[in-house]
Amino acid sequence: MKLFASLTSPYARKVRIALLEKRIDCQLEVINPWDDSVALKGINPLGKVPTLLLDDGTVLYDSRVIVEYLDALSPVSKLLPGDTRGLMQVKRWQALADGILDAGTAVFHERKRPATEQSDSAARRQYGKIESGLEALSLELADRPWCYGNGMTLADISVGACLGWLSLRLPELEWRTRYPNLELLFDKLETRQSFIDTVPPVV
């Protein structure tokens, strides 16, 4: 297998963490998805990361699809519950974390546009989504040590990748000071080798 990924992509980081937690060997090809010349466009019609190329030539894209495939591939460190209710709960956490990231990346890319073309109203709308999403994460977590159940699941990986990206790209949010329960979870996750090995570079 080969994973096409950007080292700063939180969606790709989620997949990379899952690979490490499940001890699945996979070749990593680091690419810049904004480079029009990358070969990825011949594999993924959307030209996005992460993209997973299987040994039989099958291509999987979207981090949620890839992680679910990886979890089914190996019984090591199951990340998704086997029961329907538990599965939906974990996927719900993932959807919320990914939604915050969608809003955050929209803000980040809006800032990269020329100043005369930036839309303050569009940025404010996305910030609103981030804020309401973080509040929901904090309320859902409450005083529990994990997002779901008695150990780490895909829910925790998703939230950890999300919070790590916010710290890197939108530090002005200062989510740590406002949501101490999220800070406790994040700090615990950051001690795991899978998180240590996938810390995004500051670029």
DSSP of 63-77: HHHHHHHHHHH--TT
From residue 169, how far is each of 54, 166, 185 by CA, in Å?
Answer: 31, 5, 19
Residues 17 and 44 in one domain: yes
Q: How far is Cα 159 from Cα 189, in angstroms, rounded to an integer?
A: 10
Nearest Cα to 2, choosing from 29, 38, 39? 29
pLDDT tens digits along 117-165: 888 888 899 999 999 999 999 999 999 999 999 999 999 999 999 999 9
For the chain, where are the alpha helices, taking DSSP H only? 10-21, 63-73, 84-111, 120-141, 154-169, 175-178, 180-189, 193-196
| Domain count within the chain | 2
pLDDT of residue 190 exceeding 90, the answer is: yes
The token pair that represents 8 in the structure block: 């700063």
Residues of the chain with pLDDT > 70: what percent?
98
Q: Is the C-alpha dihedral spanning 144, 18, 31, 45 positive or negative?
A: negative
Q: pTM (2 decimals)?
A: 0.95
Rounded CA-CA distance 171/166 in Å is 6
79 assigned to some structural domain: no
**Residue type (1 letter), 152:** M
Cα(89)–Cα(35) distance, integer angstroms: 37
pLDDT category at 37 given cuts 50, 70, 90 is low
| Other beta carbons within 10 Å of 200 | 18
129: CATH: 1.20.1050.10
- Shared domain check, 163 and 67: no
Mean pLDDT rounded to a whole number for the chain: 94
**Residues 21/78, Cβ–Cβ less than 8 Å:** no
- Is the Cβ–Cβ distance between 182 and 160 less than 8 Å? no
The CATH number covering residue 53 comes to 3.40.30.10
Range of the domain at 165: 84-192
One domain for residues 15 and 57: yes
